[in-house]
Structure 1
Amino acid sequence: MAVIDHPEKTELKQKDPCVFEIIVSVMPELKIGDCQNLKISHQPVETKESEVEDYLNELRKTLAEFKEVQQPAQKGNRLEISLTATDEKNMPVAKLTTQNHPLILGETKILKTLETNLIGMLPKEKKSFQSKLDHLPQDSTLTNQVFNFEVTLNKVEEMILPEVSPEFIQKVTGQSFSLEQFQTEIKNLLLNQKKEQELRRREIELIDALLKITEGEIPLVLVEQELQEMQARLAHELEHQGMQLETYLTQQNLSWEALKRKWQPQAEREVKIGLIFEELLKKEPALPTETEIQAQIKLLSTGTHKKQPDFKKDSPAYLKLIRQMRLQKIVNTLLEK
């Protein structure tokens, strides 16, 4: 019996002989169905020539030059705009007000109506319009409101893309590739990205399948612990954005209890997934070899500038890595069925 939290109740029932009643939460016993016959779908992975061309054009944009022009704005131009906004009560909205803001016409995500109005405008021209936001930022106070905008087009610049020359290839890759070799490199890069995405998709499908064939009660104490961890992660992310959790909850018009209710299904899912894999680990006692562990450590430290944990033998990071490798082996085995 594995106890997973402090006792919920401790009561002296009898003094002589001494008898206590202690109520505690224990690790549940899950019943996992037949894993060996799970059928996880495969989706074909390929890279089209048009995708290679699109990727190449995005690389060209990173080294593009811009020339100021006195002509109507069109898609692909880099613009500099000033924007003011007022709400339905004609009160200024500071979060939607900006001065000398650069953007590439055709790539705006927050306000598509803005792009519609900018097309055809001349430098120094002003225009007023009304609109909602198409892609809402993390602020529910801006949801479902119609705003009054006034935009001034300060500058129009034409984008001049570089030719795909040997010099360009050398600059973006650091290698002396021919155009054909460069396109092959891009194709392989995109293909590997798609393979990784397909693997992630299949892993999610596998987890969903495991959840469906697993029976057992989930202790509320574990769900509560997961909710606390979710709260801590959110607070950490907000702190990096210069915001406190309390401020975020106020902006979202949420209480912590309301947010917990919203998160409850996800927390229950995460707990159940963790318990399932703990059960599967019991059935897969084999450990990776030291050679495999060192190879994985080397792989983790390759191509990254992030500080890596200290993988000293038997350290917490080392043991965590072994557990991750064991879990990945289980997942890979089930995906190969």
Structure 2
Amino acid sequence: MQVSVETTSNIERRMTIGVPASEVDEAVESRLRETAGQVRLNGFRPGKVPLKVVKRRFGAGIRQEVVSEVMRDRYMKALEEQEINPAGYPSFEPKTMEEGKDLEFVATFEVLPEIEIGDLSKITVQKPNAEVTDKDVEKMIDNLRRQHADHKEVKRKSKNKDVLTMDFTGYIDGEAFEGGSAEDHQLTLGDGQMIPGFESGIKGARAGEEHEIEVTFPEDYQNEELAGKPATFKINVKKVEEPILPELTPEFFEKFGVNAEDEESFRAEVRNNMERELKQAVNNKVKNDVVEGLLEVNEFDIPQALTDQEIDRLRQDAVQRFGGQMDPQQLPAELFTEQAQRRVKTGLLFQELIRQNELKADSDKVDEKIQEIASTYEQPDEVIAHFNGDPQQKAQVENVVLEDAVVDFVLDQAKVTTKKMKYEEAVQAGQQQG
């Protein structure tokens, strides 16, 4: 077998492979004899079809089949011989495949890039510094109660936390604009659902009243056609309802999966959950800063084959997330290309940092992570036993711990600052970044 490799780009290779005619012809002949012993043709007894008849009827297809197998087999052997690690599948192009002639074909494929890690000291990371206060816990419990509140219609002036049912129409330069109208829209005063000035403009309104308010869309408003423009809203308040909050009882606690007999125990559980959420949000924010920094200080080409594989995974995730029955391939690749490229590049950088620095998943940290996951379940001991008894599940935890080891390695060399934040700010920062 003759092999030559041509470098056509940083990550693309063209491998030309030659296979002696005798090897291919012998394989074709063997397949023809095998077919002759199995094929059924009118006028011939089973297993007695002459070889020349089989060759005339099936020879071209059999040769094509054998050549495809030979190309795949010789390609794999050539990769091993040349010590090449491909990224994805190759494309094969046969140059000669006629009977009696040496088979020559070209395999075009991508390889993993050679990565030279950039200066990690140039990476900047901002770590949120936040804690869960009693006021945060109180606000969280209030939100939980409002999720299950009943509502009673009132005739008084509206105030914060009241629910207003209204019709409204928005105007710019005297013309109603698209997306600026709604009927029977429900708005909880004080929740900040609308643009600045809208809620304050109708606070105190009563059912049956009509109001006209002047507001200005924020400069960074998502609809660029409306950003920064002044608008007038004509509003008809149809109903005002006040929330009737449920009592803090064991029955109420059970609605959130909390088995608590009293308010003090419930508050402690809520605080624990909030502290777990805060810790995860901080970790998400820090990890994202590390990833952003790595992407900024490292430039290299990524194989299209890996990007395509990641796009397919994102398509599958999208279909599952929205519960659709459509074929994931119907979703345009362009929707996921940027995210896929980011994921591939990040994965390659993490792998290279792990390889170069011989990073490992510390077994104590793996156990700690499993215990952390188990603590969110009613029977933590059973969850721990499940992870320890399932190699695949435990391997996933080990991968998470290994990624944390990469983040810690980068943090040791990066410029890390802290920023004082409130609980909600830190959680929001983690959600935006994670």
TM-score, scaled to structure 2: 0.53
**8 A Cα contact 2:210 2:234, kept in partner:** yes
Task: Please point out which of 137, 157, 178 is paired with 2:241.
Answer: 157
What's the RMSD between the two structures over aligned residues? 5.3
Task: Please point out which of 391, 401, 407 is paired with 1:329.
Answer: 401
CA distance in structure 2 between the aligned counterparts of 1:148 and 1:236, rounded to whole angstroms: 41
CA distance in structure 1 between the aligned counterparts of 2:129 and 2:189, rounded to whole angstroms: 34
Structure-to-structure mapping, 1:95-244, within 5 angstroms: 96-99=181-184, 101-129=185-213, 143-144=226-227, 149-161=233-245, 173-177=258-262, 179=264, 181-211=265-295, 214=298, 216-227=300-311, 229-230=313-314, 233-234=317-318
The verdict on how the C-alpha distance between 1:235 and 1:128 changes in structure 2, with shifts beyond 3 A counting, is farther
Q: State the aligned residue count.
A: 313
> Structure 1 unaligned runs (5+)?
250-255, 305-310
By how many angstroms is 1:124 displaced?
Answer: 0.7
Higher strand share: 2
Alignment-derived partner of residue 276 in structure 1: 349
Residue-by-residue CA offset, 1:107-127 (whole Å, 9 max, x unaligned)? 142344432332232211123
Alignment-derived partner of residue 54 in structure 2: none
The verdict on how the C-alpha distance between 1:93 and 1:207 changes in structure 2, with shifts beyond 3 A counting, is closer
**8 A Cα contact 1:108 1:115, kept in partner:** yes
**8 A Cα contact 1:124 1:152, kept in partner:** yes
Letter in 2 for 1:46: E
Asked if 1:12 is matched to 2:107, the reply is no
Letter in 1 for 2:348: L
Q: Which moved more, 1:278-287 or 1:216-225?
A: 278-287
Q: Which moved more, 1:106-115 or 1:124-133?
A: 124-133
**8 A Cα contact 2:97 2:104, kept in partner:** yes
Question: Greater Rg, structure 1 or structure 2?
Answer: 2
Alignment-derived partner of residue 25 in structure 1: 110
By how many angstroms is 1:272 displaced?
Answer: 1.0
Secondary structure of 1:203's match? Answer: helix
Letter in 2 for 1:29: E
CA distance in structure 2 between the aligned counterparts of 1:118 and 1:56, rounded to whole angstroms: 27
**8 A Cα contact 1:45 1:195, kept in partner:** no
The verdict on how the C-alpha distance between 1:171 and 1:125 changes in structure 2, with shifts beyond 3 A counting, is same
CA distance in structure 2 between the aligned counterparts of 1:136 and 1:245, rounded to whole angstroms: 34
TM-score, scaled to structure 1: 0.66
By how many angstroms is 1:204 displaced?
Answer: 2.3
CA distance in structure 2 between the aligned counterparts of 1:109 and 1:245, rounded to whole angstroms: 36
Alignment-derived partner of residue 144 in structure 2: 59
Letter in 2 for 1:273: T
Alignment-derived partner of residue 53 in structure 2: none
Letter in 2 for 1:103: L
> Structure 2 unaligned runs (5+)?
1-83, 380-385, 413-434
Secondary structure of 1:327's match? Answer: helix
Percentage of matched positions with identical amino acids? 22
Secondary structure of 1:152's match? Answer: strand
